[in-house]
Chains A and B, each alone.
Chain A
Amino acid sequence: MATRTSKKKSDYGPIYKGHEGQYSWLFHRITGVAIILFLFAHVIDTAVVGWGPNAYNRVVRVYENPIVRLLELGLVAAVLYHSLNGIKILLVDFFPSLTKHIRIMGIITLTLFLASMAYVTWVMGGQIIDLIKD
């Protein structure tokens, strides 16, 4: 029987006070669901290419809307987060001894995500600004 240490009152607050891993788990789930839901629509809109140039060019014209382009930026963010956090999952699952470094791995994952998003936001933000200017 494992010994139970008594819980501090702050352990039971209205806001979850778990490890960072709980949030990376949650974001992995949210981004995963967002990506698969987008994929359902994306297979259909790409399939329209089989109906010829008029049909397809009309479909891709939805991307001429800056708000759609912002959603697209969110999609890229979701794919990048899910991928980088996925690398972390692969590492700890195939090399279980790494689990003791999980906290620093989470920080590295988040840093890489924010750094790559800074670059992507700069590039795609420029495209959106050009779109608004035209």
Chain B
Amino acid sequence: MATTTEPRRDAPERSPQRDFRGGRDRPVGGFELWSWLFMRISGLLLLVLAVGHVLIMHVQDDGVGRVNFGFVATRWASPFWRTWDWMLLVLALIHGINGLRVITLDYVRKPGVRLTINMVFYVLGFTLFVLGSVIVFTFDPSKWPGYVS
């Protein structure tokens, strides 16, 4: 097979005897390479942020059974947890929506449909980013006296 130096645009050409000992395919450059790198770096951070979040909120003690307004108020009294939750929000949204974009590249062939689906996710993601950020940074339980334990 002739060697090709063309950057991959869509599905790469694969031969049946493809040898993966040299490692898996990686985008050759541009936006897709940054996307590839972002997925791996954010994935590394999410290993701590998301797995930690899940173990603390859903497994430890009584799990989600102990979560209520007072629990959130106590937890978010600490800037550490507000920062943790905000970083988790941002990284998980971008990581997840970029993942959805990669999946639509695989399964949705028509450019118009692909763009429409992705735009829905981008707009939804941005809206949730704004909503989540506003709540994480402006939440003030003293507006409801008597509920802070």
Verify A57–B132 contact, CB threshold 8 A.
Answer: no
Verify B54–A50 contact, CB threshold 8 A.
Answer: no
Verify A99–B103 contact, CB threshold 8 A.
Answer: no
Expressed in whole angstroms, the minimum distance between the Cβ of B24 and any Cβ of chain A is: 6
Chain A residue at minimum C-beta to C-beta distance from B41: A90
Residues of A within 8 A of B132 (CB): 43, 46-47
Alpha-carbon distance between A124 and B135 when the two chains are bound, in angstroms: 29
Interface residues of A in 68-117 (CB under 8 A from B): 69, 72, 75-76, 79-80, 83, 86-87, 89-90, 92-94, 96-97, 99-100, 102
Residues of B within 8 A of A102 (CB): 20
Q: Is the interface of A mostly helix, strand, loop or mixed?
A: helix
Verify A52–B128 contact, CB threshold 8 A.
Answer: no
B31 within 8 A of A: no
**B81-107 vs A, Cβ < 8 Å mask (1 yes, 0 no):** 000000001001100110110010000
B77 within 8 A of A: no
Chain B residue at minimum C-beta to C-beta distance from A1: B1
- Which residue of the partner chain, among A83, A94, A127, contacts B40 with CB atoms under 8 Å? A94
Expressed in whole angstroms, the minimum distance between the Cβ of B144 and any Cβ of chain A is: 5
Residues of B within 8 A of A100 (CB): 21
Q: How many A residues, CB 8 Å from partner?
A: 49
Alpha-carbon distance between A64 and B128 when the two chains are bound, in angstroms: 25
- Which residue of the partner chain, among A35, A52, A131, contacts B143 with CB atoms under 8 Å? A52
Sampled A-B contacts (20; CB under 8 Å): A32-B99, A35-B96, A36-B92, A39-B93, A40-B128, A43-B131, A46-B135, A47-B131, A50-B135, A50-B138, A53-B144, A56-B72, A63-B64, A72-B58, A80-B54, A87-B47, A93-B40, A96-B24, A120-B59, A127-B65
Closest 10 CB pairs of A and B: A96-B23, A36-B96, A53-B69, A43-B128, A50-B135, A47-B135, A56-B69, A53-B147, A63-B64, A43-B132
Known: A36-B99, A47-B131. 19 other contacts (CB 8 A): A1-B1, A2-B1, A33-B100, A40-B124, A43-B93, A43-B128, A52-B143, A53-B68, A53-B69, A72-B64, A76-B54, A76-B58, A79-B50, A86-B47, A90-B43, A92-B23, A96-B23, A99-B23, A127-B63
